[in-house]
Amino acid sequence: MINRFKNFLEKEFRVIAPTQQAMDYREEILGTLLDRAQEYRIKGMEDDEMIYNLCIDSLGNFKATLVNFEQAREQIKKKAAKAGVIALSVLGAVVLLTIGYLAASFITSAWNKTWLIEVCGLFLFAIVGMVIPMPTLIQKKNNALLKLIVSGIVTLIFTAIFLILLIMTNITQTWLLFIALPIAILGAIVVLSAFTGSKAIIGEAIAFIQTSSALIYVILALRDIIPWSPYWLMPVGGAFISICIVVTALALHNKNKAVQKKVMTEEDYYTSWRQ
Question: What's the pLDDT tens digit per position in 1-17?
Answer: 788 888 888 888 887 77
| pLDDT confidence band for 80 (50 / 70 / 90) | low
The pLDDT of 217-225, averaged and rounded, is 84
Q: Which has the minimum average pLDDT: 178-192, 193-207, 253-267?
A: 253-267
> How many helices, marked H, and strands, marked E, lie in the chain?
11, 0
> What pLDDT score was predicted for residue 240?
81
In sequence order, which residues have a C-beta less than 8 Å from that of residue 131 and are 6 or more positions away?
149, 153
- Domain ranges in the chain are 1-60, 141-275
The whole-angstrom distance between residue 156's C-alpha and the CA centroid of its chain comes to 18
Tell me the three state secondary structure of residue 174: coil
> What pLDDT score was predicted for residue 142?
84
Question: For 154-194, how does the pLDDT look when each residue is reduced to its tens digit (9 = 90+)?
Answer: 999 999 999 999 888 888 788 888 888 989 999 999 898 88
**Other Cβ atoms within 10 Å of 110 Cβ, number:** 12
Alpha carbon distance 143, 120 (integer Å): 28
DSSP result, 176-195 = HHHHHHHHHHHHHHHHHHHH
- The whole-model pTM stands at 0.58
Burial 74-88 (b: 16+ CB within 10 A, else e): eeeeeeeeeeeeeee
Burial of 188 (0-12, 13-18, 19+ CB in 10 A): middle
The pLDDT of 212-239, averaged and rounded, is 83
Q: How far is CA 101 from CA 79, 90, 94, 128, in A?
A: 33, 16, 10, 20
Nearest-5° angle of CA 203, CA 204, CA 208?
Answer: 120
Q: Is 91 left (phi over 0), alpha (psi -120 to 50) or beta?
A: alpha
DSSP code of residue 16: S
User: For residue 9, what is the enclosing H or E element?
Assistant: helix 2-12
Tell me the three state secondary structure of residue 200: coil
DSSP result, 91-153 = HHHHHHHHHHHHHHHHHH--HHHHHHHHHHHHHHHHHHHHHTTHHHHHHHT-HHHHHHHHHHH
Alpha carbon distance 40, 48 (integer Å): 10
In sequence order, which residues have a C-beta less than 8 Å from that of residue 108 and are 6 or more positions away?
114
Q: End-to-end distance of the chain based on CA atoms, in angstroms?
A: 61
**Other Cβ atoms within 10 Å of 9 Cβ, number:** 19
Alpha carbon distance 80, 86 (integer Å): 10
Alpha carbon distance 92, 138 (integer Å): 29
